[in-house]
Structure 1
């Protein structure tokens, strides 16, 4: 099933933008996606007709806003295959969700936390901080020269000391897709908690948390066609009930006395303060939009684009593509003798928006002996013609910069 690209693109007003007299070619989707009218309407509609604080108000707007917010939670739970909406915690994004988990897990001195070479800083630094607080030890799964994790090394690193496996599903830098079902199962065999960074997976794959077998999974709204400042942490109900809260404040309590406080039930136990009500409602609208497009058709379309891009870019003299051939979502490359920042700046003048730098993956860049790459990343609204414009602009820029 192919996508109706003309209809899809018509839903994104920003795609009519021109850059230096050229039509915008937006290929920075791994950083953030653009928003369809349905999401924009949901955000505007909340402030125009529902704006009120939620859960404790008795007036009409408070009740209506509460109902819309909690219906959004139901939509997210359905999208993830969660057993209950109570397993869905609204956060500020993937970073917020990972920090939440890193602050509530029972980790002690001598325990080992296992991450990979390809992690985003958001799935490195919270665990480093946890190690500093507790005396736990951080272990890193290496990757090969294709940017693929060494599964034999992973199995050797697993032991009875492994307390947490925290791993991204898809690399934001190289597009590598990890075999997380198998890795989760192996980690559970040794009794480890499993935490999945799904920031780059959520825009491209159907997620069934029951089938994955993980304990926690986090993703960001702004990478799935929703606004910034909203995200989701899914957690197993048993852990959400037994583990302590992270932040204190309103909503996460049942009763507060100076002598002590009793905490609310999940998910509210982990949602202290006034939430991003509009963001949750708009996120639900974005996920419904994705479901209507169809994740299978969406993934097939993006896969065709990234293969086309890899084929065309690989023909450019001196270029190096990073990541495996079955990469997903993002394509990173470097051209010998050309700085990635200069390349990105020059092709921007041709109307092509890509990301340059280390992509919040400095340890990965160090592994490959580079300071950064140029990265093109793809979404539902991108076209084959835009891929051709990317290749043409990179070729022109490379000739000018050499």
Structure 2
């Protein structure tokens, strides 16, 4: 009952947190239609600046470049000095294999006009690459279509045109194997993928998409900071609550399975010990040489009117207990056997009822067992 309640609470918190973050994300397609969160239905353009805006691939061109500059701040300064065109936006990737890859997008006039309508602006292809698994995708939004080849540490896109009119040509252009399956993404899929991709990109790319000078009016820092503080506090509170419930639930489940795990480990230990013993017994007693030795020793007992009471051995040592009319003569006869290296009484011989009770320890010749 406790585990069920904890699970339901965790799912509710996750749902509320996801819904709250999703409502802050907007996207605009090439036709200028606005979509909020995961909705596939266009909404009226908001009158105020939105927190995060994802612009359609049809509203910009993209170029990849690599720089052997480890410092993020240093590379940012280089890119800033290199171009002052406000239509160009730079997104610097993490340090990998001795370089940083930089995505530079050049916005169209329509795309540039959107910079003043959001606090953070992100390109659609960058966001989708974070949300989607590796593979080849055909993304269709309204009349606009482009192809995305997503790899583990790299991705590229190409817009459909007269030269790139189908996925086969796009695969050749992007270096994708021709047998790769083509995944289709429509407006119904874009909302969910983009909302998930924005959260996966993290603050590293959010900072780079921050629009500092997109309006001639002074930026309202105080309201923006208040909104950010509220969103951040809500996120931290929900995350902390979720983690506490998650840890409580896991602890409860661990307490439930601990006795079963302990019992399984004991059984596994017993099974291992039994298997080892069986293996040793199999090597010793399912062995023709060992069996022949037993019958030769038994024959000596028979000639001296002896009888066994017990016998124990491991193929190298053999202990025999029994009765005979003359235990000393029996010992001498056993010692004279070619497969016996040494024979000795393990305890004093005792007499009674015309018989001598004894225990003899035998050391077997190693070569005789081969």
Q: Could you tell me the TM-score, scaled by structure 1's length? A: 0.22
* Greater per-residue strand proportion: 2
Return the index of the structure with the highest Cα Rg: 2
